[in-house]
Structure 1
């Protein structure tokens, strides 16, 4: 009897040992996947606005396969950053992007949104210039008093940069108010300048390069003269969207950040070719010729990571201009990097 008991014990021990061995082998081979599987997404459709003749990083992320199983739903084109993020506030879209100043003003007005990834900016290749005709008498900031400046929209990047230029060059608030901003579609910016409808016009990208090729104009100053290379704006999500869809939010922002980093590290000619393919395949009856002039993302950080510093610049400006009270907004409360693929402390390459 004792011998039989010993035999049974040995068999049970061997069986347990074999089970442990098989489990270890399965883990090593990757067949035990549930612990590492991505959590289910709360929603699979993301509504957004595009830009005519351009490819957004949201669209690029989708084309690169970084968003799957998320699907994009294009609801139309936007004309400006402030309009784009307003549709996020109203719930007509899920994601939109704008200049930091416009985002901060909405947040200060209690709009329930948060910046989640920087998506545009200025560098040596991609920047906003303020142009005058070669025979213009305007040489300095003070010469702008009583003059008209064409910008794409009021209350956004181009207005803030201009007003900072005036302030740094000694114009008082009352003098700065004598410089008139005129909202003009970017495509007509060169025309209104050459026809003397305005004294200064803002130009960038293909519109700037083509205008310079035609000659007769030059830059009075550029935004990079004031701020160097900087990320100027971010995509935003509603607070409720993040709360209700944390997994979808992570998938969306991680995908966009990976797309930005892809564009930051891929030769420009390859990026342009990808953009042209995307525009051709979406069939929106648009002119894709500006894409051939694309040079860089302009985004200063890897994958669009946001920092306190790049937002504090604009908080300080809004306080200085009397639009914010000191301490009204804290930079770190206006954004989150928690969904960025390259966020601090995350080993993105291990996934």
Structure 2
């Protein structure tokens, strides 16, 4: 990550933009960045394209984190992207954003923990790092400027984006421990902010995913492949908690007329096999089937056009080759 200089953003109209259907990591990261800017006497607004998920909305309300929806991008000359770096996650703002960006109406910097691709909005890598959450990225960049509230928000993002530590590494737990110690909150207090009542739709998605799961054993590791219409990412995380070492959940996006594959990998599996979902699975899948990929070592997604059978067979072949070489 390059060194970040706040002084260049004084006297700018700044927007802190979360991805569509913003989650706890995105809203916590945006709140941290807003507080950091405020320390430098720099004003900013937090926004989401049109929707924030229920959990993040409840958290924002409790913490009095103000945000707007459907911002008019013409008002801003600096936009920070929080927890994303992909045009697809701009939702209904995509068209306006793309036009104004081409006109150089604003500058863009992304704070994100996903792999930078050629198609990424911001390819500078100023605020992008291979961490487990965007709040962890911000902590590593600006640790010396953090206060109690920022440490607390960092903990929330790290818990949420690891599925309550289903994935992790030594650096994550070290960072989390430091943030927890300096947050003036107990672990149980922070956990309360990451729990929410599961809606019926998500319950059904999880149950259908488990019911439809096909189990494959490769080199003593369990690979689970399933399909569901909605919540593919959350469903893939749930399969890990049920015992899978790698979970692959396929779905169809009718809105975009494309196929989606959400992938998750357990930390032990990754370390034991030196396995990275993006580098070792999805880049190979992309070579075979085309499409777009994004994510990081333990949580990633492919989007393209291929049948469930073709995607499944390709993924299993790639994993077998990696594990049995």
TM-score (norm 2): 0.26
TM-score (norm 1): 0.25
Larger Rg: 1
